[in-house]
Amino acid sequence: MQPVATTFFFYLLSGLALLGGVLVITRKNAVHSALALILTLLALAGLYLMLYAPFVAGVQIILYAGGIMVLFLFVIMLVNLERSQKEEQFNKQWVIGTVAAVVTGILFVLVFVKSKELPNLVREHVAQLPEQSNTQQIAVFLYGNYMFTFEIASLLLLVAMIGAVVMAKKRI
Amino acid sequence: MKPTTYISRLELGEKDETFLDSNELIINMGPQHPATHGVLRVILKLDGEKVLGTECVIGYLHRGVEKIAENRTYAMFNPYVDRMDYVAAVSNGLGYCEAVEKLLNVEAPPRANYIRVILAELNRIASHQLWLGTHALDIGAITPLFYTFRDREEILKIFEKYCGARLTTHAFRIGGCQYETYEGFEKDVKKFLNFFKPKIDEYEELLTTNRIWVERTKSVGVISGKECRALGVTGPVLRASGVRWDIRKAQPYAAYSDFQFEIPTGQNGDTYDRYLVRMAEMRQSVRIIEQAVAGIPEGPIMAKIPKVLKPPVGEIYHSIEAPKGELGYFVVSDGSTQPYRLRVRPPSFVNLQALDMMVRGQLVADVIAVIGTLDIVLGEVDR
Amino acid sequence: MAPITTFHYLVVAAALFVLGVIGVLTRRNVVIVLMSIELILNAVNLNLVAFSRLWGLQGQVFSIFVITDAAAEAAVGLGILIAFFRNKETVNVDEVDLLKW
Amino acid sequence: MLSYITDYLKSNTTPGQAGNLFWAFVYILLVFLGLSIAVIAMNWLERKILAHMQVRLGPMRVGPHGLLQPIADALKLLIKEDIMPAEADKAVFWTAPLIVVITAFTVFIVVPFGPTHAVTDMNIGVLFMLGVSSLGVLGIVMAGWASNSHYPLIGALRSSAQMVSYEIAMGLAVVAAILMTSLNGMGVYGIGGHGDGTGTLSMIGIVQAQQAQHAWFIFKFFPLGLIAFFIFAVAMVAETNRAPFDLPEAESELTAGFHTEYSGFRWSLFFLAEYSAMIAVSSIAVTLWLGGWLRPFPNLLTGETWDLIFSLFPAATFLSLALLAFIGTIRMPRHSYFRIQTLGLGGFAALLGLIGLILLIAPVRDRIQDIYWFSIKVAGFMYLYIWYRGTFPRYRFDQLMRMGWKVLLPMGIGVLILTALVGVL
């Protein structure tokens, strides 16, 4: 299946993603920030679909938007943030921080532009990506080449789970 | 004048430092709420879903029944008592009539007493049916409500045929009954009993072994017999806690001494036991009515009492076993045609006091179950 | 309009990354700082997936690991946040200046 | 242009796969329309069936046997005053119902009503459905939070905790079913034609695997398929917040849960979303375990005659419904009060009969058959939903969590491991 109107959807989705990103870091209310982040995540899922990565897009939706963000919203509702809304939102070094971040971004773009691979990036040298069996291929990678990494990741999740329970529980 | 807002003592209380403060919610359940059976307002202090404390705010249905009594003659006040526990109006009337009869030192004739027993027990069944339907509805089973209302209709039809009213019946008069039983009364009652006996099994089939029902009611709202006695809780709530106390047996009134019946009791004092006790009580009521219909004597239905009631100076306390518990009337007479003071001991009001003890530390959903199982009627709580 | 190439995706990813870094460096609210970290991780993911378009599926596989990591990070971070809030009644990062309290 | 439209009819893929935008839009519109009608019909049926379970009649006044009641309700909801609490978070309050409704409808993109009757066939079909339907919880949380009131907030917290917990058990059951697409009990069996032993996540692929393996997955590796189906069937009721898991909107506890503060049109969006979510999860269950669009015994009872007999079912259903409506018309009281009602019911009978007759035409018959079998299976689930509501009391929150985490989750893991073992051995 060939994606249609690629240019339009790319600009739409990346615009939404960036808009969401800006809202995340500027909103006073944490719930609004979280909702903006969800917008970004969904837009990114759309971009993944356009990049022939349907499985990653699905995981993005089900895990990020459906799981992690619900956790965020849950915690925001649990801790009462009304007081923090009235306080100063940005710390004292916000000018330096912003400048440093922007400089990093410019550096990145410069690296892309100056690199010898740029013609490659622009010319769209496309690898043979099996679109119809994307999930199957990823599965083969996950349970083949990256078996050990996969196990480590599951261990990491276990550790994180125990850690979260230990820290969030009132009394153990 | 500035309207004053009610501040609950729960809001004034010290904050518990061990909890996240945001976890503590004060929520108002009622006075407009689907599960508070009228206009009860319960202020709940919650930690997440757990109940830390409750406070009942009552009085939204207060009509000053006791004060009204002081300005009415004894006979005129009789219909007012029906408006207290409006789902068990017959029992209310029975208690009042007997109290005044005691004060006057007259006794209702045996036939009147039998009619009284039949109607009062029918009313007990009706009241329990209403309780079952609404209780199940609160816990989330919506179907039993319609079944019980279908069957309760038959009782109300008998009431209507007997005295012309379905709910606030005003069935009895001081000194006996005003109406002789209508043609075919016994037949109607017998027909109802035969119709109703399998229906109890139907209700039980829906609920008694239903796993969700059992899980929702077992060890919910536990109260021990000792605590019941300390609070003055009576009726099925007390009996479910294992205390064998039923005024029909302990101090028989009307014609109850003539009948064979048992007092169903529970052991655990939880919501499930209260459910079982009330179901058993319905069966016992059927038994009593059967005996009463079979042995109803002939004779007058009204004792000889003066046209104008002027009880001698004195005071009397008389209580009966209403469907919800001990319903008592304390009447003080100064020798005039009107009571000097009349005080009602409403079972719902007293039983409601147990709510806080029963739900503390349990979940919000249990508050609903416990309010249902206490079987309160706000008309009686507020009077 | 010019056709969309991998370069475009990289620029979007860089912009998202910068937004995330700004959020981490300037905001005081821990929740929003955590969300900014999620932004950064997402920017990385976009990069990985965009490159996987050029050089094969490994990028997508790696991005799945990044998502797993983000889940673990969010769980632990929010756990710390709740513990912190319970003790200090605040969610501001610049008030976390003691190792023990 | 015309060839662009007509060419698709000869292809045998879904419009999404064929890349045909026109037909994709047509299919989306059809699905949307069909779903709206299904929700309206479901509204009427639920009230009628529940009423008859509860010894009453249900709606009888608006139209013959209350047939027009849902339309009257919809009109009422549309013209009601739209109330927004003063302290509510306006933007979030406004978007929450939209999110709920959009997610509930979006999942139908991949639902296969037939081998070609789907908007598109995605490589990640099931994952997409689960993912998008899990986004609905965001709308619920937003609604509860934005109302700025205690009951909705508790309802939203309950709902999100419940949906997140049951999603895990649900996911495990789904994985067990997906595992079956690659296993045939006698070693590894590749469905995608890759020969590498992989299964498929695509909704159409799953149904085709059931056809190829000559068994609905509910009967596969008996009783493993059945247990997985059972887990899903329980979890899906919890996922859609229906009785006996309707705690987030437990009327007797939280008045109406997360949509307490909503009224009018916005409320009706929640209502719409609830019912279409019910249909969505039922379609997942049908696709994964009950053979999707496959007619009964597709491999056993083959041949021209059986094909003909099974393809006559849709017409027969509609004709018998028409007959029922016709009998109802005849039995209507002969009184001038009832004249319009009688006419209306007669007209309805005629409409049903007409649909039945259209379904008798051979080309239509063959195309509709798949959709019919799919819908009948989904309708069975819808009846179960109503039945549950009429029979069960409501669970308490801790019992709900215990059920999700301590019963369904271990069962799901067990089924998954056993399926893998049985499949490989």
pLDDT tens-digit map of A40-52: 998 999 888 888 8
* Test the B interface: residue of A79, A81, A172 with most B CBs within 10 Å: A79
Residue C85: closest C-alpha in chain B: B20
At B379, is the pLDDT very low, low, confident or very high (cuts 50, 70, 90)? confident
pLDDT tens-digit map of D266-314: 888 888 888 888 898 898 888 888 888 888 877 777 777 887 888 888 8
pLDDT at A130: 61
Chains A and D touch (3+ CB pairs under 8 A): yes
pLDDT at A124: 60
- Round to whole Å and give the CA distance between B316 and B103: 6
- Round to whole Å and give the CA distance between D230 and D218: 9
**Nearest CA distance, A1 vs chain C (angstrom):** 16
Q: Chain D residues contacting A, CB < 8 Å?
A: 16-17, 19, 21, 89, 91-92, 95, 120, 122-124, 127-128, 130-132, 134-135, 137-138, 141-142, 145, 153, 156-157, 160-161, 164, 167, 192, 194, 196, 198-201
pLDDT at B314: 84
Q: Does D154 touch chain B (CB under 8 A)?
A: yes
| Nearest-by-Cβ selection for D150 from B25, B213, B366 | B25
C residues 60-79 lying closer than 8 A (beta carbon) to B: none
Phi first, then psi: give them for residue C81, nearest 5 degrees.
-60, -45
pLDDT at B20: 44
CB pairs under 8 A between A and C: 252
Structure tokens at D131: 């993912």
Q: Is D103 left (phi over 0), alpha (psi -120 to 50) or beta?
A: alpha
CB D84 within 8 A of CB D93: yes
Contact A135 D160 (CB under 8 A): no
A residues 86-105 lying closer than 8 A (beta carbon) to C: 87-91, 93-94, 96-98, 100-102, 104-105
Instruction: Using DSSP, state whether D11 is helix, strand or coil.
Output: coil
Chains D and C touch (3+ CB pairs under 8 A): no
Give the 3-state secondary structure of D356-421: HHHCCCHHHHHHHHHHHHHHHHHHHHHHHHHHHHHHCCCCCHHHHHHHHHHHHHHHHHHHHHHHHH
pLDDT at D195: 45
pLDDT at A170: 66
Chains B and A touch (3+ CB pairs under 8 A): yes
Averaged pLDDT for residues D369-380: 87
| Amino acid, res. C41 | L
Q: Does B294 touch chain C (CB under 8 A)?
A: no
Structure tokens at A14: 């990346």
Which pTM does this prediction carry?
A: 0.84
pLDDT at D186: 44
A144: exposed, middle or buried (C-beta count within 10 Å: 0-12, 13-18, 19+)? exposed
pLDDT tens-digit map of D88-100: 888 888 888 888 8
Contact C82 B21 (CB under 8 A): no
Contact D160 A139 (CB under 8 A): no
Sign of CA dihedral B229, B231, B234, B237: negative
- Round to whole Å and give the CA distance between B119 and B96: 15
Strands in B339-345's sheet, in edge-to-edge order, are B314-322, B325-333, B339-345
Contact B141 D391 (CB under 8 A): yes
- Round to whole Å and give the CA distance between B352 and B370: 10
Averaged pLDDT for residues A125-143: 71
Structure tokens at D388: 């549950």
At A158, is the pLDDT very low, low, confident or very high (cuts 50, 70, 90)? very high
CA nearest to D241, candidates D226, D257, D225, D227: D257
Averaged pLDDT for residues A150-168: 88
Contact C39 A101 (CB under 8 A): no
**Nearest CA distance, C41 vs chain A (angstrom):** 11
Structure tokens at B370: 């416990």
- Round to whole Å and give the CA distance between B357 and B229: 13
Q: Does C85 touch chain B (CB under 8 A)?
A: yes
* Chain B partners (3+ C-beta pairs within 8 A): A, C, D
Strands (E), chain B: 24-29, 41-47, 50-57, 172-173, 176-177, 314-322, 325-333, 339-345
Give the 3-state secondary structure percentages of chain C, helix then strand then coil, rounded to 5: 80, 5, 15
At D187, is the pLDDT very low, low, confident or very high (cuts 50, 70, 90)? very low
Averaged pLDDT for residues B13-27: 55
Strands (E), B229-313: none
Structure tokens at B334: 């100064």
**Sequence-distant (≥ 6) Cβ neighbours of residue B32 within 8 angstroms:** B39
Residue C86: closest C-alpha in chain B: B20
* Test the C interface: residue of A2, A10, A44, A120 with most C CBs within 10 Å: A44
Q: Which residue has the tokens 């979260």?
A: A164
Contact D124 A135 (CB under 8 A): yes
CB B64 within 8 A of CB B159: no
Residues of C in contact with B20 (CB under 8 A): 82, 85-86
Chain centre to alpha carbon of residue D230: 17
pLDDT tens-digit map of D241-261: 887 888 777 666 676 778 888
* Chain A partners (3+ C-beta pairs within 8 A): B, C, D
Contact C82 A104 (CB under 8 A): no
**b/e B335-348 (16+ beta carbons within 10 angstroms → b):** eeebbeebebbbbb
CA nearest to A104, candidates C32, C70, C40: C40
CA nearest to B368, candidates B217, B224, B143, B234: B217
A158: exposed, middle or buried (C-beta count within 10 Å: 0-12, 13-18, 19+)? exposed
Averaged pLDDT for residues B208-215: 86
Averaged pLDDT for residues A111-117: 78
pLDDT tens-digit map of A60-77: 888 888 888 888 888 887
Q: Does B183 touch chain A (CB under 8 A)?
A: no
Residues of chain B with pLDDT > 70, as a percent, come to 93
| Nearest-by-Cβ selection for C79 from A91, A123, A168 | A168
At B39, is the pLDDT very low, low, confident or very high (cuts 50, 70, 90)? confident
**Sequence-distant (≥ 6) Cβ neighbours of residue A136 within 8 angstroms:** A130, D192, D194, D196, D198, D199, D200
For the CA atoms of D27, A65, D102, D249, the dihedral, rounded to the nearest 10 degrees, stands at: 130
Least confident among A47-51, A121-125, D267-271, D373-377: A121-125
Q: Does D129 touch chain B (CB under 8 A)?
A: no
Residues of D in contact with A59 (CB under 8 A): 127
pLDDT at D188: 45
Residue B60 has pLDDT above 80, yes or no: yes
Q: Does D47 touch chain B (CB under 8 A)?
A: no
Q: Which residues pair with B316 in a beta bridge?
A: B331
Least confident among A28-37, B158-167, C50-59: C50-59
| Nearest-by-Cβ selection for D127 from A2, A62, A65 | A62
- Round to whole Å and give the CA distance between D96 and D259: 10
At D184, is the pLDDT very low, low, confident or very high (cuts 50, 70, 90)? low
- Round to whole Å and give the CA distance between A59 and A68: 11
pLDDT tens-digit map of B137-194: 888 888 888 889 888 888 888 888 888 888 888 888 888 888 888 888 888 888 888 8
- Round to whole Å and give the CA distance between D292 and D298: 12
pLDDT at A159: 92
At B383, is the pLDDT very low, low, confident or very high (cuts 50, 70, 90)? confident
Contact C78 A90 (CB under 8 A): no
Least confident among A154-163, C62-71, D211-220: D211-220
* Residue D196 neighbours by CB distance under 10 Å: 14
More confident residue, A80 or D421: D421
Residues of B in contact with D253 (CB under 8 A): 35, 364-365, 368
Structure tokens at C5: 């190439």
A residues 60-99 lying closer than 8 A (beta carbon) to B: 78-80
A residues 2-41 lying closer than 8 A (beta carbon) to C: 6-7, 10, 14, 17-18, 21-22, 24-25, 27, 30, 33-34, 37, 40-41
- Round to whole Å and give the CA distance between B207 and B213: 6
CB A137 within 8 A of CB C61: no
pLDDT tens-digit map of D36-85: 888 888 888 888 888 988 888 888 888 778 888 888 888 888 888 888 88
Contact B146 D154 (CB under 8 A): no
Residue B17 has pLDDT above 50, yes or no: no
At B18, is the pLDDT very low, low, confident or very high (cuts 50, 70, 90)? very low
CB pairs under 8 A between B and D: 86
pLDDT tens-digit map of B270-290: 888 888 899 899 888 998 888
pLDDT at B13: 54
Residue C90 has pLDDT above 60, yes or no: yes
A residues 78-117 lying closer than 8 A (beta carbon) to D: none
Q: Does B19 touch chain A (CB under 8 A)?
A: yes
